[in-house]
Structures are given as structure tokens and as C-alpha cells.
Copies of this chain bind each other. A is one copy, B any other.
Amino acid sequence: MAAVMSDDEQPGGHQSGGSVASVRRKQRGTRRHMGAPTIADVAREANCSPMTVSRVINSEGNVRDATRDQVMAAIAKLNYSPNRAARSLAGGEQARIALLFDNPSASYLSEFLMGALEEASRRDVQLVVQSCDSSTAAMVLVRNLAEGGIQGFILPPPLCDDQQVLDLVAELDAIAVAVGPGKAQGSQGAVLIDDFQAAYDMTRHIIGLGHERIGFIIGNPEQVAADRRLNGYLAAMKDAGLDVNDNLIVQGRFTYRSGMDGAEKLLSVTPRPTAIFASNDDMAAATVAVAHRRQLDVPNDITVCGFDDTDMASSIWPELTTIRQPIREMTAWAVEAITRMIRAKRRGERSRPEQETLPYTLVRRESDAAPSLTTRPTQPRTGR
């Protein structure tokens, strides 16, 4: 280390003085403020060239994992963040991408935005956030934006399941990345979780608690993910050898209000289900509310589980057992991927779209429990 330092100690060189941050740019001599850490500082810290750091930052390929990690560590240590001005100066142009949303669940949205905005600012891409309330509105918007120089679109559900929109984006020679689509289309980028498996796992979890009559509230039929969750539920029920009672499956639309309606229906069924699995947290929260209104304790009288782990899940009481989608990471990934694709495209490369499946986790909180004896099926459970 010391050797390295003394090696480039000649004045007039490109280096700074010491290895400690506070000594940085000790006497840069000629010019200006000793300000933020630069890419060179990171490079020194990570023991590589600035160019390699740049590659890491821009998530280009051809960097060994070990190197990448070192660089990442250095970045974290120095609290480095790239200088926007220099970047757009050197790079030619700033990437501009739009984030369209048409999503009823506000809490989902906020997570979503967080991930995107944070990553966007980190990567110095310009993010245009636009809400649009219908598929046709989306069409107009996409066209306008693309003509206004937007090179890529990030599409959350349900937009990402809208073939029309997708086609239009492709036609306009822009790039689309879907976040959490029901199904990865071949033609565009996508980040998703395995909705089927997650719903399967959650259902197994509930079954494992001892429940047999498990209600399910389906999500918005326009979103393919809703189907997959339903299928996961069905498969788990089937695998456990449990009856799937059609009365215990009701349609919702991912909104709180629709969750209330669904829960009302489910809780009116006799015998009452001992657990309800809602396709998202908003509906689960609504279910808790309805249960409470009916003087049912959650989880002692009824187990309620959600999906998504939006912040509503942990801001109500009891806090929801739910599936945590790493929404933030997903959006961040989307931003990263889309900028990478835009850059690649600018360089004339023809990269086919990237896709990624991120891991979910089942977050166990306070809204689930074994069924109470009184509400238990008359016939004692036998299986597993």
C-alpha cells in the first residue's frame, strides 16, 4: 500500500496526497474546491484504474466479480457518488426514461417510486414520472414521450401486461422494462418474482398452521400476476389434498374497497373460513378491518395473510404476515437494466432484452395463527 502511494507521488501527477480521505487532494495546486470524492479516489481505494470503476458504476460487463466487489466497497466507504455534470459531458447524453403508472395501490406505488428514483439519481438518468389512468391514455403518453426523446419506459402492472402498449413502445424503437408482470414476454426486459411459487408457499404456510378452510381473494383480473397467485393457491391446496371450495374464492381488484367486499362475502360463508389469503396487502388490510367489525379477532379467530409487503402491511395492526416482494430492488434493477440497454443501443449493439427473477420472502408477522378450537373443522385433521 505504502509502495503504491509513493509510486505516484510526483507533483503534477494525477494523484492526491494520502490514503486517508481527509488528506485527499492535498494540494491539487492549481484549481478549486476540494470537494466530493472522484472516480479517481475510488479507483485508488479499490486498487484499480478509474476506468474499471466507471465500468462498475455503469454496470457494463467484463469486470470480474472480485474486482466489482472491491470497487463497490470503495464506493461505499468513500460515500462516492458520480458527478452528474462530468458524466453527461463525457458521456455525450443523459439517458431519459419514463415511468408510467396506473396502479391503484398507493403503497405499492411509493415503494416503486422509491426504488426508481433512488436508482435514477444514482445513475444520473432523467426519470419522467407520469401517471395515466387508462390504457388509451397510456398509448398517447407513450407516443408523446418517445417523440420527446424518451428512450425507455418502465412499466409496472397493469400496464406491463398490456400488449398494445408494449407493441407501441417497440414500434417507436424505445425500450420497455416490465416490473412484476404476470409473465415475462420475450420481447422486452422484465423483473419479476415467482408469483406462483410465492402464493404456493404462503398457502402451504397457512395449511401448515392447521387451516383447511382457506379463503382467497383474487386480484385485478387485468393483471396476469393475479392469476398466477391464484394458481399458486390452488396448487398448494390440491397438493395438500384439501378441497377447494368455490365459495371460498372471491374476486377482488387489488383495492382496499374491493378487499372489503371480498372479505364480507368470505366471512358470510358457513362454515366460516379460518383463514383468508388476500392477493395483496391492501385487500388483506381491508379483510382485517372487516373481521374486526365482525368482532373477530385476528389472528385468533381468523388468520389473514397478504402479499407484497407494502408498508401498509406493517402499519396496521396486527401487522400482516405477507410475501415480501423486493419492489424497490426490482425497480432499481429495472432502471439499471434499462440504462444499460439504452447505452448498449447507443453504441449500436443489439442486446436482446434482459430478464431477472428476484427472490421473495415470506414475512411472518402477527396476523396468522393456528385455527382456534372452536372454529376448527368438526373432524380432527389427519394429514401431515
Residues of A within 8 A of B (CB): 21-22, 31-37, 78-81, 83-89, 92, 94, 96, 104-107, 109-111, 113-114, 117-118, 120-121, 124, 126-129, 144-145, 147-150, 255-257, 260, 282, 285-286, 288-289, 292-293, 295, 310-312, 314-317
Contact = CB atoms under 8 A, between A and B. Distances in A.
B148 A21 contact: yes
A257 B366 CA distance: 13
Contacts of A79: 128, 144-145, 148
A20 to B, nearest CB: 10
A253 to B, nearest CB: 13
Contacts of A78: 148
Given A35-B96, A79-B144, A286-B317, 20 more contacts: A22-B147, A34-B149, A35-B149, A37-B149, A85-B124, A86-B89, A105-B315, A106-B314, A110-B114, A113-B118, A114-B117, A117-B121, A117-B129, A120-B121, A256-B317, A257-B317, A282-B315, A286-B316, A289-B292, A289-B317
Q: How many copies does the complex hold?
A: 2
Nearest to A127: B121
Contact of A92 (B22, B35, B94, B316): B35
Nearest to A144: B79
15 contacts: A84-B126, A85-B86, A85-B88, A85-B124, A106-B114, A107-B110, A107-B311, A109-B110, A110-B110, A113-B114, A120-B121, A260-B317, A289-B292, A312-B312, A312-B315
A84 B81 contact: no
Contact of A117 (B31, B113, B147): B113
Max chain B C-beta neighbours (<10 A), residue from A31, A127, A295: A127
A85 B81 contact: no
B32 A92 contact: yes
A315 B85 contact: no
Nearest to A112: B110
> Which of A114, A121, A288 counts the most chain B CB atoms within 10 A?
A121
B282 A80 contact: no
Nearest to A32: B92
Nearest to A260: B317
Contacts of A32: 92
B311 A105 contact: yes
B96 A316 contact: no
Contacts of A288: 289
